């Protein structure tokens, strides 16, 4: 009576299990490890002002950039219509690559890629959150940036007392900005749209804010 009311389904035999394991292209522990690797990190990522694909194209020659290992999933299980510039292989798009997201976040934590960090916007809470992100930057990252100093050679041709403006040149977003005015009295720094165009930053990548300038 008990067997009739509660029939037990016969489970797979030991031989069938072993046979399945032999024909399984990827071990189960490998699949679980790849799944954990492809999962997005639990911590919130830094907001970027451009796509991750654009960042990769501009920093691909950086020696600090760590390229990922080759994808271990079987090729016949991947979506061949999607290509990742970071893995140099098919399976997912560059923008959806979790390994690239983690690498960009790691470079930001080390003090790099500051020009790609999105500002907090025009809200008070957004600006505070933006400030807290920079406050968490490790102190050792500042040691990797060379100090900008001025010596006696920079003072040649200047008559004292002087009120000359300090103008320097720098590389911003892989573009040489030749005339940067250093003015400690300014409350706002304004860049013309022409400057963004020359740096390769399109208007679609800019975010409008409503904060008034005084």
Q: What is the pLDDT of residues 151-189, one digit of tens each?
A: 888 778 777 777 777 888 888 877 888 888 877 665 667
Cα 87 from Cα 38, distance rounded (Å): 12
Query: Mean pLDDT score of the chain, rounded to an integer?
Result: 75
Question: Does residue 150 fall inside a structural domain?
Answer: no
- Is residue 68 domain-resident? yes
What are the angstrom distances between the C-alpha of 22 and each of 16, 18, 76, 143, 169?
10, 6, 18, 53, 63
Note the pLDDT tens digit of each residue in 17-73: 455 445 555 455 444 544 544 444 456 788 888 889 999 988 888 889 999 998 888
For a pLDDT cut of 70, what percent of the chain falls above it? 64
pTM: 0.41
Pair (99, 47) in one structural domain: yes
User: Is residue 31 domain-shared with residue 112, that is, in the same domain?
Assistant: yes
For residue 89, what are the domain limits?
24-142
CA separation, residue 63 to residues 29, 59, 109, 122, 202 (Å): 32, 9, 16, 35, 27
Are 193 and 126 contained in the same domain? no
What is the count of structural domains for the chain? 2
- Residues 133 and 35 both lie in one domain: yes
Residues 28 and 91 in one domain: yes
Domain annotation covers residue 2: no
Residue 144 pLDDT class (50, 70, 90 cuts): low
Q: Judge if 168 and 129 occupy the same domain.
A: no
Question: Are residues 95 and 127 both part of a single domain?
Answer: yes
Residues 184, 79 share a domain: no
Does one domain contain both 97 and 137?
yes
Q: Are residues 120 and 30 in the same domain?
A: yes
Q: Is residue 16 part of a domain?
A: no
């Amino acid at each position: 009576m008990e067997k009739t009311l509660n029939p037990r389904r016969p489970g797979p035999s030991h031989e069938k299990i072993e046979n399945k394991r032999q024909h399984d292209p990827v071990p189960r522990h490998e699949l679980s490890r790849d799944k954990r690797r492809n999962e997005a990190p639990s911590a919130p990522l830094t907001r970027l002002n451009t796509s991750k694909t654009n960042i990769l194209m501009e920093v691909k020659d950086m020696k600090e950039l760590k390229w990922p290992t080759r994808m271990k999933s079987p090729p016949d299980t991947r979506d061949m219509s999607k290509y990742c510039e970071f893995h140099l292989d098919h399976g997912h798009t560059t923008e959806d690559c979790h390994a690239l997201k983690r690498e960009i976040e790691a470079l930001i934590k080390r003090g790099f890629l500051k020009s790609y960090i999105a500002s907090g916007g025009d809200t008070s809470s957004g600006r505070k959150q933006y400030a807290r992100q920079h406050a968490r930057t490790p102190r050792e990252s500042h040691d990797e940036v060379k100090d900008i100093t001025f010596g006696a050679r920079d003072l040649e041709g200047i008559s004292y007392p002087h009120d000359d403006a300090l103008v320097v040149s720098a590389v911003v977003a892989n573009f040489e900005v030749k005339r940067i005015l250093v003015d400690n009295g300014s409350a706002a720094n304004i860049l013309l749209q022409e400057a963004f165009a020359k740096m390769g930053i399109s208007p679609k990548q800019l975010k409008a804010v409503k904060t008034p300038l005084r």
